């Protein structure tokens, strides 16, 4: 069983749901990224998603795109990001997954990326620009390395295709709440709860929900039907204050926000 299988099996046995914060590697620098990961896990997050900066992301809104630009402007390189993960993962006590463009994986070399990510302590990869029809080769390489390949399902995915995606995915399914890009939203679609419940009832994999989740009310509404919640822009926006603000205060704010979501998920 993979690290993600172990985690979700343990959470399910305890009747708990996973909070998975997203952070951008290298924003504002890799030392602070490591500090944020430690703080988020210390405050109760079950796993974390690490975004690998890329100049042309297809699914990320302005907040995450800006964080990628800040990291790239400071000279971020994939090898440095994997080294940061290798340094922090052994003492973290929670799995890490990467959000990485297939362009990055392809340029690095698919076998090399999977091998080195796994060696660094990465438990899974989310590759948003790789459709299920073209993911077979990467899925096979990931399976051999016991690295989960997490697949995305969106509100516009036909249900027959969603079931195909669920068959290929490992680790968990990432259910995208809205059409469009990442970003904080005041309200989530009214059909979301039913759509997530439908998918969860038909897949053996955990279903984690992301895009737009930015407040405790969202967490409270979705926790009953999802196995985990993914929160990105609301956290990245807070982390951005560390560019020219007091870092200790930013860490506390990010940790307090995570706790508010966890409390809502448990209520």
Among all residues, which ones are annotated catalytic?
49, 60
Element holding 151 (H helix, E strand): strand 148-153
C-alpha to C-alpha distance for 133 and 171, rounded to whole angstroms: 19
What torsion do the CA atoms of 211, 217, 222, 224 make, to the nearest 10 degrees?
A: 160
Task: Tell me which DSSP letter residue 214 carries.
Answer: -
Q: Which residues contact 178 (CB under 8 A, 6 or more apart)?
A: 155, 185, 188, 189, 211, 212
CA 4 to mean position of chain CA atoms? 12
Q: Which run of H or of E encompasses 97?
A: strand 96-99
Return d(Cα 16, Cα 32) in angstroms, integer: 29
Percentages of the chain per state (helix, strand, coil), in multiples of 5: 55, 15, 35
**Three-state DSSP state, 24:** strand
What's the token pair of residue 172?
């968990």
DSSP code, position 50: E
Q: Quick one: which of 48, 58, 158, 143 has its CA closest to 101? A: 58
Residue that has been written with the tokens 């603000």 in this structure: 245
Taken as a whole, the chain contains a residue count of: 267
């Amino acid at each position: 069983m993979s690290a993600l299988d172990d985690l979700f099996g343990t959470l399910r046995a305890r009747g708990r749901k996973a909070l998975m914060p997203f952070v951008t590697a290298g924003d504002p620098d890799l030392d602070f990224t490591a500090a944020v990961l430690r703080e988020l896990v210390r405050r109760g997050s079950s796993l974390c998603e690490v975004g690998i900066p890329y100049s042309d992301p297809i699914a990320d809104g302005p907040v995450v795109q800006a964080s990628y630009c800040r990291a790239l402007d400071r000279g971020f390189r994939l090898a440095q990001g994997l080294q940061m993960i290798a340094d922090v993962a052994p003492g973290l006590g929670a799995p890490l997954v990467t959000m990485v463009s297939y362009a990055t994986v392809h340029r690095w070399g698919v076998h090399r990326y999977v091998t080195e990510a796994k060696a660094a302590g990465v438990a899974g990869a989310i590759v948003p620009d790789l459709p299920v029809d073209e993911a077979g080769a990467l899925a096979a390489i990931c399976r051999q390395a016991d690295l989960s390949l997490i697949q995305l399902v969106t509100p516009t995915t036909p249900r027959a295709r969603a079931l195909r995606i669920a068959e290929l995915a490992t680790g968990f399914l990432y259910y995208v709440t809205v059409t469009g890009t990442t970003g904080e939203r005041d309200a989530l679609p009214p059909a979301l709860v039913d759509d997530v419940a439908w998918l969860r009832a038909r897949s053996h994999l955990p279903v984690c929900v992301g895009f737009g989740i930015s407040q405790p009310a969202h967490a409270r509404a979705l926790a009953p039907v999802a196995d985990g919640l993914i929160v990105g822009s609301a956290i990245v926006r807070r982390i951005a204050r560390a560019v020219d603000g007091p870092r200790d205060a930013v860490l506390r704010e990010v940790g307090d926000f995570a706790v508010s979501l966890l409390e809502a998920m448990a209520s």
